[in-house]
Amino acid sequence: QVQLVESGGGLVQPGGSLRLSCAASGSIFSINTMGWYRQAPGKEREFVALITSAGTTNYVPSVKGRFTISRDGAKNTVFLQMNSLKPEDTAVYYCHATPCVPPLQSLDIWGRGTLVTVAS
């Protein structure tokens, strides 16, 4: 069974930095896209960033220039470096991936989420 496990959330002051990690485990041939979404209290889940197997990245405009997504393909891990954090970045951050698993089945899976709180 393929799972995603996030880590790295916590409490940080405005202007600070955090680095989120998400590792995929299980029987995986490859992973096309890996990305991050977030859900703030009382709001719907929104897209934050993604990275393809080719290294192409995409970001929501509100985090461009502040967040950087990267991945370690050999370890099926994706990272989100978050700098210049703002209170409005407070949310539960969810990892998302589209792995190809035996026998050549494509999945769409989510992690359980990690809480990021930006407050002074």
44 exposed, middle or buried (CB, 10 Å; 0-12, 13-18, 19+)?
exposed
| The predicted structure's pLDDT at residue 1 | 86
Distance between start and end Cα atoms, the chain: 40
What type of residue sits at position 29? F
Convert the pLDDT of each residue in 48-95 to its tens digit: 999 999 999 999 999 999 999 999 989 999 999 999 999 999 999 999
Residue 17 has pLDDT above 90, yes or no: yes
Is the preceding peptide bond at 103 cis, omega within 30 degrees of 0?
A: yes
